[in-house]
Structure 1
Amino acid sequence: MFVNTPLEASEILNMGEVLAYPTEAVWGLGCNPMNKDAFYKILKLKQRPIEKGVILLASHISQVEPLFENISQEIQQRIIESWAAKSSSERATTWLLPANNFIPEWIKGNHLSVAVRVTQHPLCREICNQFNNFIVSTSANPAGETPAKNWQEAQAYFANNVHYLNGEIGKCTEPSQIIDAVTGKFIRN
């Protein structure tokens, strides 16, 4: 159940399927965030409670701008600067942004915010570009297990229950830091 290109990966997402793919630091599981059934497949695979919410991955700022409506220009600039091109070994930054009606309830869990990251990982960017929207991004592992670092580890967890887009993870050794845009508080540092 391998796909060979980001275009094929976007087609899988459009079909309501789950995709395993490399991110900045670990392998991730993704789906179309607007497809509730696909999202529930991820929760079942990960044995993850819906209350936690997930990260949405974007390829460029314009995909995120609808979520900036209640954020000051100063904070918007800080967010944009944190997402500017970085070296592949720099830690990525995910921001908690106030969720609006654009974000489905199942994505944000028990939160009033949604976790969003504009990725610099080339393969992730291309998946989002081909899909022309956010994609769900949560680590490729069942709850309590170590996140997969390659397709073999992801496949050991999920077998033929997901599709795989092979590639290399980034050189970052830690998952993204998470910052609340409203309070400035580090949720994961």
Structure 2
Amino acid sequence: MSYKQTFFWSVDNFLNKDQHSECIREAAMWITKGEVVAFPTETVYGLGANALDETAVKKIFEAKGRPSDNPLIVHIASVSQLDQLVTAIPSVAKQLMDQFWPGPLTIILNKKESVAKSVTAGLDTVAIRIPDHPIAIELLKLADVPVAAPSANLSGKPSPTSGKHVYHDLKGRIVGILDGGQTGVGLESTVLDCSKEIPVLYRPGGVTIEEIEAVIGKIKVDPSLKSKDEVPLSPGMKYTHYAPDGTFVLVRDQKQIPVLLAKAKAEGKRTGVLTTKENVDTYEADVIVSCGSRADLASVANQLYESLRTFDEKKAEIIFSETFPYENLGIAIMNRLEKAAGGSIF
């Protein structure tokens, strides 16, 4: 599928609502017609289609080149829309919704038959969240349907945190892009399966394990998040994601990065380093990118995907990355870096 024109609606100043409402209305109209539209959320840009329309949902997979066994997250504007999608809401799920919605927490529940089969990859459950972004909420209200929306990038590449990222990846592959400027959180939502007796964390994200457990008590964690030798419980978590074009290597001991750089340079490779502002003057490489401050992991999360895309723009052939502590938001950051490295850890 290809489009002669991909509309690029600029709505980055949402305070000027009268000026931009028509753009959002047009994007919503395309969703109701069964087309796919990219839009900003507080996490990353989503690629949205009517979650009740099987034909429309399949266009998401086609545009992204996404494996068909990788389920999608459904975005809704209000809790009242859950009646269309799920059979029941357990008490722990209700507590989490009250605490974290709207926001970067996706909750998995048992689904109704109304949900398009491709959304759930044939599973009996569906993943749902309410985004915390005014443009996304306005779009969802105007479309008046639940919207399935994975990240708006080519499958396997770094997720988009700006409209220009989406345009780079999907121009001509989708009907339009709502450009709302830079996203806030910068990492995808936390995914928690509340269809189980004890909720299971499948993907760490903007809401931390510690924050969840403060509300509902201890949860389980997908074993694959702790060991690459474990088979993921969720089918979508088995794929490599977020990878730049160059070889990406995580280095646990950052003192080894200069040694690895010297070897790569001797082999004639264009080198890159992903670091933080505290260490940006430590290395000698062709491309050095700071993704934020170690003292403020929220800044790292916010800039991570932009940083990974910078290495592609500057044609780095091999990139060495520092690592972060496995705690709080650092767990989500390391999850994305490990996926980008595809198991290449030094």
| Structure 1 length-normalised TM | 0.88
CA RMSD in angstroms, aligned pairs only: 1.8
1:137 corresponds to which residue?
Answer: 149
1:19 corresponds to which residue?
Answer: 37
2:70 corresponds to which residue?
Answer: 52
2:124 corresponds to which residue?
Answer: 112
Give, as a single letter, the amino acid of the residue that structure 1 aligns with 2:99.
Answer: E
The Cα of 1:68 is off from its aligned counterpart by 5.1
Q: Are 2:92 and 2:194, in contact at CA under 8 Å, matched by a contact in 1? A: no
2:56 corresponds to which residue?
Answer: 38
Unaligned runs of 5+ in 1: 87-91
Q: Are 1:61 and 1:80, in contact at CA under 8 Å, matched by a contact in 2? A: no
Relative to structure 1, the CA distance from residue 155 to residue 43 in structure 2 (aligned partners, 3 Å threshold; closer, same or farther) is same
Relative to structure 1, the CA distance from residue 73 to residue 44 in structure 2 (aligned partners, 3 Å threshold; closer, same or farther) is same
Answer 1 or 2: which has greater strand percent: 1
* TM-superposition CA deviations, 1:145-179 (whole Å, max 9, x none): 11122122111111122211111343113210000
Give, as a single letter, the amino acid of the residue that structure 2 aligns with 1:110.
Answer: G
Relative to structure 1, the CA distance from residue 22 to residue 72 in structure 2 (aligned partners, 3 Å threshold; closer, same or farther) is closer
Give, as a single letter, the amino acid of the residue that structure 2 aligns with 1:172.
Answer: V
1:101 corresponds to which residue?
Answer: 113
Q: Are 1:68 and 1:76, in contact at CA under 8 Å, matched by a contact in 2? A: no
Report which of the two structures shows the higher radius of gyration computed on alpha carbons: 2
Q: Are 2:86 and 2:112, in contact at CA under 8 Å, matched by a contact in 1? A: no
Q: Are 1:97 and 1:115, in contact at CA under 8 Å, matched by a contact in 2? A: yes
Instruction: Tell me the distance in 2 between the aligned counterparts of 1:158 and 1:73.
Output: 40
Matched, 1:188 2:203: yes
* TM-superposition CA deviations, 1:42-92 (whole Å, max 9, x none): 1011111221110000111111144454333343233332215x6xxxxx1
Give, as a single letter, the amino acid of the residue that structure 1 aligns with 2:203.
Answer: R
Aligned length: 183
Matched, 1:2 2:2: no
Give, as a single letter, the amino acid of the residue that structure 2 aligns with 1:127.
Answer: L
Give, as a single letter, the amino acid of the residue that structure 2 aligns with 1:116.
Answer: I
Unaligned runs of 5+ in 2: 1-6, 10-19, 205-346
Identity %: 25
| Structure 2 length-normalised TM | 0.50
Instruction: Tell me the distance in 1 between the aligned counterparts of 2:85 and 2:98.
Output: 13
Q: Are 1:121 and 1:170, in contact at CA under 8 Å, matched by a contact in 2? A: no
Q: Are 1:26 and 1:139, in contact at CA under 8 Å, matched by a contact in 2? A: yes
1:82 corresponds to which residue?
Answer: 100
After the TM superposition, which of the residue ranges 69-78 and 19-28 deviates more from structure 2?
A: 69-78
Residue 171 of structure 1, aligned match among 184, 189, 194 = 184
Q: Are 1:57 and 1:116, in contact at CA under 8 Å, matched by a contact in 2? A: yes
Q: Are 1:95 and 1:179, in contact at CA under 8 Å, matched by a contact in 2? A: yes
Relative to structure 1, the CA distance from residue 78 to residue 153 in structure 2 (aligned partners, 3 Å threshold; closer, same or farther) is closer
The Cα of 1:35 is off from its aligned counterpart by 2.4
* TM-superposition CA deviations, 1:86-138 (whole Å, max 9, x none): 6xxxxx10011111112121211032110100111111100000011211111
Instruction: Tell me the distance in 1 between the aligned counterparts of 2:37 and 2:168.
Output: 15
Residue 63 of structure 1, aligned match among 81, 85, 104 = 81
Give, as a single letter, the amino acid of the residue that structure 1 aligns with 2:150.
Answer: T
SS at match of 1:171: coil
